[in-house]
Amino acid sequence: MKREKIFNTIGLTLLAACFLFSLARVVRRGEAAADGTVDGRAVVRFAHWQLEGGLREAMDRLARDYEAVNPNVRVEQIAVPERTYKQWVRTQLIGGTAPEIVQLGQGADDELLARFIMPISEWVDKPNPYNAGTDLENTPWRETFVDNMEAGWNYRPNLAEYYGASMSMFTVRIFYNRDLWRRLLGDTPVPKTYDEFIEICERVRSASETTGRVVLPIAGSRENGSMLAFRLFSTQTQRLVRELDREHTLRPENIDVALAFLRGEWSVDSRGYHDGLAIMRETGLHMQPGFIQLRRDDAAFYFLQERAMMIATGSWDAPSFRAQADFEIGVFAIPAPSRDHPRYGANVLGQVSEANTGTGLSFGIVQGAARSDLALDFLHFATSRANNETFAQVSGWLPSVVGVNPTELIEPFVPVADGYLGGFDPTLSMLGANTLLTVQRSLNRLVDRAGSVASFTEIMREQLPDALREDLGRYERSTLLNVQRQDVILAALAMHGGAAMLSNQTGKLSEMLEAQNRAESRREWVLEHLADGR
């Protein structure tokens, strides 16, 4: 009885201590949020969902370096798991407790950005002060990024505002286990052509059968399998997409490709589409059976546990893999068929260019942040050429700023600028959820041993038209919502800016009118196809 009482007392004391500790933390944080200082130092907090190896260390290094030159500032990093980031950031923003800087992307949309994220358009045309003394000294901040800050969440055409500055960019490559390669394939070099790649897959399979050690040629999953198979598919639609260029842009968008399908200008029987399926099947057969049901973690396990020789994934996985693998990792570009390939060459224009690889890992400043001036200063600091180089070296991720020299580890991921525009993939390059789902749920019929190109084609013949129509309908509705919102903003810009705004040819009003009129023109064209039930 007495013993029970002692335990209860200890328990209660611990509980009370925990409560008091938490309370103190919350109060301290509340104080910090109220006046933006802790221990007399101004606080800048930034949140992101990148838990990959190396990334947090790189961000931490930038934070400490910033503190070294700004001793009155304390920079805190908040890493939130990807699965909960969307809910977390929304709750923080709505509750007014968000950190000064948040990673943009998960759960973001134009409405959220407009309401909670501070536009940085005012600063993007001015130089980044932390580039002083370099050849970027007088270059507008926007132009110091390899994509001119135009990709993803940095610039929102519907709002005609810049919101984010990004730290990195991403490309997809094939990673391989060098030790296993040497054991099973000797000194065979990495494949340069598609045929060499398939031959290596077959050799791995037969070596695996001979030695009794089960090693898959390629670790697949819904995400990783698709990265490789879709990329190869898109080599087969390179010429087809050129034929669908009704507007003479040399780069029809996925919406144009879908509309051309509804007009009957191409079909699931078109040669490019058919051969795209064939090449997907050929590659898919070298992954584990049923890989479409697996997720990226499963594929990573296969590779890291040396049960697969290769895996196709993005540059973001490189540092994690290097940290976790007990073997040496090599990287090579996805070998696509060339123009003179006897089976697939007729559909190919040439090597696919990655010149338009957009930047990512984009950060925005929260509207009304206590120290938005410091948050902006930290973003300038982190995206200066010197600090982006530090970030790239420590994280092993690609840089986002022009002129940053890639290290040896990053070199294989640098986007290939030379080449032609790629074709579309079987999801029409993510036209929408319905097309994606339609393709994904039937992929087994294509890449399983019992499946075939013909059986997958039959399913697509039946289901693809409706899926495309539904996605085009969704596109039309979301365009309408943006157009409606723009109507209000346009009136406000005109009235708030007065005569000066109306006569400004290049200002925000002009920019938004251009965006709205372009969007409405395209929407009418989509409606034209949906209305007549093509």
Partner 1 sequence: MPAPRRPFTSTIPILTLFLVLATQARTAEPVSDATADAMLQQAWKDASSNLFLEAAQGFAKAEGREARLGGAITLLARQPKTASNIEAAAKSLTALVEENSRDTVGVMARYYLGRVEQVHRVPSNPAAAAAHFRRLLEEHPGEFWTEQGAIKLALIELHEEVGRDERLARLTRHAEYASSMRHRPARRDMHLLLADVILRFQLGEALALEQLLAADEAGIVRSAPRAQVWVQIAELARETGREDIARRYYESFLASYKRDTRRKLVSERLAALSANTQEVAQQ
Binding residues for partner 1, rule: CB under 8 A, are 110-111, 114-115, 146-148, 150, 157, 159, 246-251, 350, 353, 355-356, 417-422, 480, 483-485, 487-489, 491-496, 502, 505-506, 509-511, 513-515, 517-518, 520-522, 524-525, 527-528
In the complex, the smallest distance separating the C-beta of residue 529 from partner 1, rounded to whole angstroms, is 10
DSSP string, 399-444: P-BTTPPP-TTTGGGS---SSB-----TTTTT--HHHHHHHHHHTH
Q: Is the CB of 52 or the CB of 256 nearer to partner 1?
A: 256
Instruction: Give the tokens for residue 97.
Output: 């407790």
- Which distant-in-sequence residues (6+ apart) come within 8 Å of 301 by Cβ? 307
Q: What is the distance between the alpha carbons of residues 416 and 407, in angstroms, rounded to a whole number? A: 16
Q: Is the CB of 266 or the CB of 321 nearer to partner 1?
A: 266
Instruction: Give the tokens for residue 279.
Output: 């090449």
DSSP string, 333-352: ------TT-TTTGGG--SSB
In the complex, the smallest distance separating the C-beta of residue 261 from partner 1, rounded to whole angstroms, is 15
Instruction: Give the tokens for residue 368.
Output: 């009304």
Q: What is the distance between the alpha carbons of residues 117 and 119, in angstroms, rounded to a whole number? A: 6
Q: Is the CB of 53 or the CB of 350 nearer to partner 1?
A: 350
Longest dimension (CA), the chain: 88
In the complex, the smallest distance separating the C-beta of residue 251 from partner 1, rounded to whole angstroms, is 6
Q: Is the CB of 20 or the CB of 355 nearer to partner 1?
A: 355
Radius of gyration of the chain (CA): 26
Q: Is the CB of 192 or the CB of 246 nearer to partner 1?
A: 246
In the complex, the smallest distance separating the C-beta of residue 301 from partner 1, rounded to whole angstroms, is 35
Q: What is the distance between the alpha carbons of residues 392 and 403, in angstroms, rounded to a whole number? A: 12
* C-beta contacts of 31-39 below 8 A and 24+ residues apart: 33/97, 33/370, 34/370, 35/370, 36/369, 36/370, 36/371, 36/374, 38/74, 39/74
Q: Is the CB of 92 or the CB of 516 nearer to partner 1?
A: 516
Q: Is the CB of 132 or the CB of 355 nearer to partner 1?
A: 355
Q: Is the CB of 82 or the CB of 487 nearer to partner 1?
A: 487
Q: Is the CB of 110 or the CB of 471 nearer to partner 1?
A: 110
Q: What is the distance between the alpha carbons of residues 446 and 121, in angstroms, rounded to a whole number? A: 47
Q: What is the distance between the alpha carbons of residues 398 and 407, in angstroms, rounded to a whole number? A: 9
Helical segments of 79-221, H only: 82-95, 110-116, 121-124, 178-185, 194-211
Q: Is the CB of 100 or the CB of 110 nearer to partner 1?
A: 110
- Which distant-in-sequence residues (6+ apart) come within 8 Å of 8 by Cβ? none
Contact present, 366 and 46 (Cβ < 8 Å): no
In the complex, the smallest distance separating the C-beta of residue 151 from partner 1, rounded to whole angstroms, is 10
In the complex, the smallest distance separating the C-beta of residue 444 from partner 1, rounded to whole angstroms, is 32
Contact present, 205 and 449 (Cβ < 8 Å): no
In the complex, the smallest distance separating the C-beta of residue 267 from partner 1, rounded to whole angstroms, is 20
Q: Is the CB of 180 or the CB of 365 nearer to partner 1?
A: 365
In the complex, the smallest distance separating the C-beta of residue 339 from partner 1, rounded to whole angstroms, is 13
Contact present, 402 and 390 (Cβ < 8 Å): no
In the complex, the smallest distance separating the C-beta of residue 34 from partner 1, rounded to whole angstroms, is 22
Nearest CA among 87, 137, 145, 132 for reference residue 112: 87
Q: What is the distance between the alpha carbons of residues 378 and 380, in angstroms, rounded to a whole number? A: 5
